[in-house]
Structure 1
């Protein structure tokens, strides 16, 4: 007999699906409404006055008045908000700052307003509801759910609460899910990640877990500790665990390892949340990409990544995007971010409706020799090269080796294997073939003897976790870049090198 929660979830899921279909089937009109509302609401702010919002009536006007900025360039305005000033980037004051540890800017304070906060919560909820509507599976709402996240303890700065986004969102879990939610508040407040995961294992090992959610690399750590303590696979331990929700990184490099740890396949939902906004979520189990949230107070612009570093690169709206092109995503939001470069690159997998995949970071690429290799390409290469093999990879990153002791330069792949390749040369051959097929620049550099084929450096078991711990970034929302254009990470990982 299904519970009341299960019974009510299906008509609610149908209602939400209908609402989403309504705006997703009128994407240009939806974005136009969002744009007009943003400009109207912010006319009297300091930013709006500085950028002539009162005279903006078209996208072209907006482009002419508002340049693309990253956090550093928007920082003078943000600092005024942090100092307690009102009506700076958005009307009034934000209700939170999502504090992030930027790699170039130190601590970043991303405003969250009363208008933007609901979109973070509703998007995650809607992703689950669309899954229920599509599959008819709602039994999991009666089981226990765990969301591996940052501490919900919030600090305060000039009357505005601040913390990590996942910690802020933890305060908005609907009441009807509170009873099912794990871990306990006490455990969730533990700051040290390893201590926290150990406590989560103790709390959950005898529970009926049905949904597990988090960044794959940190969920993997939780799974391994569960198996170590129980001697059972995760699937045997949690018989009703059938839905994994993840975001932050591509799941594909982890999929084979996860299926091995769980002992069976489980459905998954991919999310695309960030402190700056909740941009997309997977709306169909059998479609590639995530549905772009066009009705969430976010106006999107796109710049082709290939031209991003040119003077005045062309900014376009969703009306002009094309499939499979690598775009830098630019956002303007109800949190008061204007023509803001969040640093992510995306590619469209569908235009009816608009679906995207995250292809990487505009700062995370390798182009030491003009090859323009991006995150999506190295992840796809690893997936293709290890398909139908026993090779299993825990973690990896790629960096250029510009000045080798001998021979031509090359790309170095630092890989922590779960199951090592029997034939490393064959793996390298597979990686090379995939990269050459995906990236003509890389092919030309190899064929032109500017680069030699890649090299693999094996990293010890848990080496990546040890590295993240050594830089104070173990757990939470922290993740290893898939590739870098310098050797900072690669050289630091050498202390965890198996082949030294």
Structure 2
């Protein structure tokens, strides 16, 4: 008997709730908004902005300014020193460590008990709920789930707070019953030394019946290759014959898709994209044939969106879900049960559907190249690389790109540092295809490339094997949710990578 079929019936009531996303999205978000405001009325923040008198989204928008991490940092520092009821009424002791800002090496994002339950764990459950809907023949619970996450970090200067990667916080606080269906054990899962952790996880899991994977594609590749090295197998289904799904997020899956197809050749393997960040759980793919994710609108998150033409203004105008347009780039702004209020998380998205609201991630508000007016975003880069790989037989492991403002010959261009899993038939051919694809995808880039007047053809530099791994290691950012910066408007990181590449 397929035990998963019996267990999956427990998820049916949630499917009925998710069905309301098609017809009642705006009403659902309004309820979330009212609940969040009501809960925070008596906090220091709520009193400062007189939440007790806020009766509409328009009042909220006029009264509370858009926030960056630097704006909320004073509250975070006070929370980490033990003060409470500042931005959220319940006790906050956990802080998710995330990549830093211009002024700080790391950000420490508050995580409340409500957020753990109503955002992050709910998102994990909904991944399974939607997967069962997409794959009714699943045998998900016949084995265990392999979760590759981060680690706890030192508490720095505070004895009142606990710090870790979000994934570590989730593992630490998870219901003990869940540990019966997941690997590795908590001690190994929370290890901080990344290379040792990969080895321990590989050794601990090769004899387990693993049916599902959850984590960041780039880091999972490292683990998968080590598992195959240890076992001497060619494909992962030889190690885990019942493996059927990979819930992935954190970085785009596009550059890694072909490598996964080579390492996991089983036709029953499925890939489900999720959008789970330190700030919240925002999206889940609900159709295996559609790369867009469904916006999760009944968690403890109220969403706002700023169009890219407003983003550069001193007081950008935001809109709520009801007023978004399809196929338009927006920066996402959130208010959550962690006490983040009108917080700009730094990601840009584009809606592809309104019934339900579905979207794709297009990039980062800070990860782009616009040195010459070309406005190149990560979505352009990923699609351009995919075309270049298809045309040349190449496979990309990691990449980063930055502008060359003017060389000794007064030439401006983009430089791409690419670590190939499989080299193209010709680097020059690959670069030409990538350049031509970017022109097709981005009219601003095409205009700046016209007759090579403002912008010369892009240059591809081949990165040595392990370059990006070494760069992250040098910065103390191996594993977890740490990522290589894909596009940068300056050469700060790029120059250091180039030096390591020699």
Give the shorter-chain TM-score range: over 0.9
Q: CA deviation at 1:399?
A: 0.7
Q: Whole-Å Cα distance in 2 between the matches of residues 473 and 160 of structure 1? A: 21
Shift of 1:159: 4.0
Counterpart selection for 2:439 from 417, 436, 440 = 436
Kept in 1: contact 2:302–2:335 (CA 8 A): yes
Determine the structure 2 residue equivalent to 1:235: 237
Aligned residues of 1:10 and 1:138 also touching (Cα < 8 A):
no
Tell whether 2:114 aligns with 1:112. Answer: no
What's the counterpart of residue 90 of structure 1? 88
| 349-358 vs 184-193, greater mean Cα deviation | 184-193
Which aligned segments of 4 or more residues in structure 1 are displaced greater than 6 angstroms?
Answer: none
- Which residue is equivalent to 2:221? 220
**1:114-173 CA distances to partner (integer Å, 9 max, x unpaired)?**
221112001111111211122113312111221001136885945443322111111344
Distance 2:81 2:368 in 1: 35
Q: Does 1:131 align with 2:135?
A: no
Provide the C-alpha distance between the structure 1 equivalents of 2:298 and 2:247, rounded to a whole number of angstroms: 22
C-alpha contact 1:152 1:171 (8 A) present in aligned 2? no
TM-fit CA distance, 1:307: 2.5
Give distance in 2, aligned partners of 1:185 and 1:312.
45
TM-score (norm 2): 0.94
CA contact 1:247–1:273 (8 Å) conserved in 2: yes
1:230-277 per-residue CA deviation (whole Å, 9 max, x = no partner) reads 221212222111111111011011000111122345201111111211
What are the equivalent positions in structure 2 for 1:482-497 lying under 5 Å apart?
A: 482-497=486-501
| Counterpart-to-counterpart distance in 1, 2:353 and 2:81 | 43
How is 1:83-482 mapped onto 2 (pairs within 5 angstroms)?
83-104=81-102, 105-118=104-117, 119-151=119-151, 157=158, 159-232=160-233, 233-264=235-266, 266-387=269-390, 389-447=392-450, 449-482=453-486
Unaligned residue ranges in structure 1 (runs of 5+): none
Distance in 2, Cα, partners of 1:189 & 1:315: 39
Question: For 2:353 and 2:254, how far apart are their aligned partners in 1?
Answer: 19
Q: Is the 8 A contact 2:384 2:438 kept in 1?
A: yes
Q: For residue 111 of structure 1, report the CA deviation from its aligned partner.
A: 1.3
Contact in 1 for aligned 2:43/2:87 (Cα 8 Å): yes
Give CA deviations for 1:382-435 in whole Å, capped at 9, x if unaligned.
Answer: 012212642111111111111223352111111001111112232222212221
The CA distance in 2 between the partners of 1:189 and 1:92, in whole Å, is 26
When structure 1 is superposed on structure 2, of 173-182 and 281-290 the one drifting more is 173-182
The separation in 2 between residues aligned to 1:173 and 1:472, in whole angstroms, is: 27
Match of 2:29 in 1: 31
Q: Distance in 1 between matches of 2:251 and 2:167?
A: 15
TM-score by length of 1: 0.95
Kindly state the Cα deviation for residue 471 of structure 1 after the two structures are TM-superposed: 1.2
Alignment partners' CA distance in 1, 2:26 and 2:37? 17
Superposition deviation, residue 198 in structure 1: 0.8
Contact 1:374 1:483 in 2 (8 A): yes
Separation in 2, partners of 1:79, 1:406: 49
Contact 1:395 1:417 in 2 (8 A): yes
SS in 1 for 2:449: helix
Q: Deviations over 1:1-35 (max 9, x none)?
A: 223xx133221232221111124530110111111
d(CA) in 2 for partners of 1:24, 1:39: 25
**For the residues of structure 2 that align with 1:175 and 1:138, how far apart are their CA atoms?**
24
* Alignment deviations for residues 345-402 of structure 1 (CA, whole Å, 9 cap, x no partner): 1111211101122211101110111111111110111012212642111111111111
| Structure 2 SS opposite 1:387 | helix
**Partners of 1:121 and 1:95 in 2: how far apart?**
18
Q: Is the 8 A contact 2:211 2:243 kept in 1?
A: yes
Partners in 1 of 2:309 and 2:429 — Cα distance?
A: 32
Between the aligned partners of 1:264 and 1:419, the Cα distance in structure 2 is 21
Partner SS, residue 416 of structure 2 = strand
Partner-residue secondary structure (3-state), 1:222: helix
Question: Residues 206, 405 of structure 1: CA spacing in aligned structure 2 closer, same or farther, 3 A cutoff?
Answer: farther
C-alpha deviations, 1:87-133, integer Å up to 9, x for none? 21011322422222414233322112222111200111111121112
Answer yes or no: is the 8 Å Cα contact 1:460–1:496 preserved in 2. Answer: no
Kept in 2: contact 1:399–1:413 (CA 8 A): yes
